[in-house]
Amino acid sequence: MSGGPGDPSLWSSDPLPGRPAAFLWGYIRRWPAHFGGLLALVVGAAACAVAVQYGMKLLVDAMAAPDTDRSSVWSPLLLFIVLIGAENALWRSAGWLACRTVVGVGVDIRLDLFRHLTGHPVHYFAEHFSGALGNRITQTAGAVGALTNTITWNILPPCIDFIGAVIVLSTIQWQMAAALALFVLVVAGVIGGVGVRGRPRHRAYSDQAAQAGGELVDVVSNMWAVKAFSARAIEAERLESKFGREAKAQRGSWLYLEKTRMLHDAFLWVMAGGMLSWAVWQWTQGRITPGDVVVVTTLTFRILHGSRDLAFALVGTTQQFGMIAETLRVIGPRHAVADAPDARPLVPLGGAIDFEAVSFAYPDGRRVFRAFSLHVPAGQRVGVVGPSGAGKSTLVGLLQRLDDPQAGRVLIDGQELTAVTQDSLRAAIAVVPQEIVLFHRSVLENIRYGRPDATDEEVMEAAHAARCDDFIRALPEGYGTLVGERGIKLSGGQRQRIGIARAILKDAPIIVLDEATSALDSHSEAEVQQALERLIHGRTVLAVAHRLSTLGGFDRIVVMADGRIVEDGPPSELHARGGAFHALWRMQAHGLGGGPAARQTG
């Protein structure tokens, strides 16, 4: 946490600090001048505020003295005015610096949490609502900002006021100073203890709020399904239940704070009445001056109201700490797949792929591979087929290092994947999945995602090669047309060809086709197939396919079942054998290619 926002060290796979205090300390260390300056300004302003009360005492005493020259009041008046000006100047400077600090730290926190979040494996995102994760990042930055503001305006000033009041009252009568100190410490201890006991309620509210927000985003992002299945009423009822649980948790958190406020008000009444009665009695006995009564009165009320703000702020900070702690629990754990400390960039040498005695099982215990081996020479086009659950998708995931095997090795051009950086590995692989993921950005930006430094001309050249230039230019704003969330404004075939254009632009030595045409109609499939021919030319290709007809021109077919290779060879040779591949081919050739049986082949 010691670098700047762009520091590569912040991409570390180490877990984030487990405790909110340690997490916050990292940002204080990163912004020492800002936090140090803010502390100095607040302390100075609060000290001036206490000194103003003492200046008022001097002024009143000067005015009340019967035998004093009336001109003597001007010096305490001048001191009083200077202190007020200094206090205001310091508070406004603190406000300016707090603005810069809170905003800057908020940006750093969101970037750091995003960077750590993106390091988690793909299955992590299948286990959490994407909306809830995004909300947690935003809410955590907000919680840290609120915490900084609370400490700056509601915790530090009352603490300085308390210390200053004790010092000032000690000059008047040490018994009053001791009584005030003792009472404030008792009140702070009781209110603080009550606030800590309310932490579970505040944490429960934070958790319910994140869940409700995630559910809402999930429904909105799947609105097509909601409308298609006439499920608006059902989803409204479901959200009503979620919002109801969130509201119940919020009420519990809120009402607990109100109970704390009631307790503090009772303390406030007793302390104010006691201190003022004592001060007036002391004046009737001639032991203190009118100025002393004024300063005791003003400081007592200042401390009492400050202690109320302090107590509520301390209780409120438990909510903020609870929210930060929950985010660290969900987002902060160590990455399951991480770069080695000495990882180096992959050096592509043609794209040869090797799986050597690989064993792999998912966290739920489901075993996929046991001593699995496969060699794909550089430049070879290999099709992978087999029934559902055969291990095809897992094979592709291990090649991209979305997971690590428990035993064995995966290599590209003789370089073990665990020894190279993940970014350099994935830069050497272009993937065209069954469902192309597009951002709600322009067509140009979505294609350029394959190579961010590409020129507009290079993007258009890739689009032309992928046979999508014509339909792009026919869009309302051409390459500048926004495609909608997840590319909803485009047809499946159009999205697929944009995905292929993106892969062509990437110009990677290894191409992975993960059922790239299985969801398309025959016309779209023919257009996409032509685009794929341009993409895979001269590269190493690993293609998972449902439709065996798309693999007719491949060099080799690997048939998998139960995590094992049951057949391996050129398509013509496998046909001649009359084995598993031939049986699958005949099944599709007899008109089952669009039905359930065909789906079982992928």
**pLDDT score for 594:** 43
**pLDDT score for 416:** 94
Is 165 among the domain residues?
Answer: yes
Contact assessment for residue 517 and residue 436, using Cβ atoms and an 8 Å cutoff: no
540-544 and 510-514 beta bridge pairing: parallel
Are 217 and 99 part of one and the same domain? yes
Are 58 and 36 part of one and the same domain? yes
**pLDDT score for 9:** 41
- What contacts 188, CB < 8 A, 6 or more positions away? 307, 310, 311, 314
Distance CA(471)–CA(478), nearest Å, equals: 9
**pLDDT score for 589:** 65
Is 273 among the domain residues?
Answer: yes
Give the residue carrying structure tokens 């000032």.
168
> Which stretches of the chain score pLDDT less than 50?
1-11, 592-602
The SS3 of residue 70 is helix
**pLDDT score for 7:** 44
Q: Is 27 exposed, middle or buried (0-12, 13-18, 19+ CB in 10 A)?
A: buried
Q: Provide the β-strand partners of residue 372.
A: 358
100's tokens: 């810069």
Contact assessment for residue 546 and residue 515, using Cβ atoms and an 8 Å cutoff: yes
Domain of residue 304, CATH code: 1.20.1560.10
Contact assessment for residue 138 and residue 117, using Cβ atoms and an 8 Å cutoff: no
Are 404 and 513 part of one and the same domain? yes
**pLDDT score for 519:** 56
End residue of a domain, out of 281, 296, 331? 331
**pLDDT score for 601:** 35
**pLDDT score for 428:** 92
The number of CA neighbours under 13 Å toward the Cβ of 300 is 25
Is 39 among the domain residues?
Answer: yes
Task: Evaluate if pTM is beyond 0.85.
Answer: no
The SS3 of residue 19 is coil
**pLDDT score for 424:** 92
Domain containing residue 474: 439-497
Are 76 and 13 part of one and the same domain? yes
Are 140 and 210 part of one and the same domain? yes
DSSP 404-451: --SEEEEEETTEEGGGB-HHHHHHTEEEEESS----SSBHHHHHHTT-
Is 347 among the domain residues?
Answer: no
Are 424 and 478 part of one and the same domain? no
Are 416 and 376 part of one and the same domain? yes
Contact assessment for residue 547 and residue 593, using Cβ atoms and an 8 Å cutoff: yes
Domain of residue 532, CATH code: 3.40.50.300
Are 90 and 150 part of one and the same domain? yes
How many domains does one find in the chain?
Answer: 3
305's tokens: 């109201």
**pLDDT score for 435:** 81
Q: Is 111 exposed, middle or buried (0-12, 13-18, 19+ CB in 10 A)?
A: middle
Are 314 and 359 part of one and the same domain? no
Are 411 and 443 part of one and the same domain? no
Are 190 and 247 part of one and the same domain? yes
Measure the CA angle with vertex 86, ends 304 and 313; round to 5°: 30
- What contacts 519, CB < 8 A, 6 or more positions away? 434, 435, 492
Distance CA(106)–CA(137), nearest Å, equals: 10
**pLDDT score for 409:** 94
Is 338 among the domain residues?
Answer: no
Phi, psi of 593, rounded to the nearest 5 degrees: -60, -25
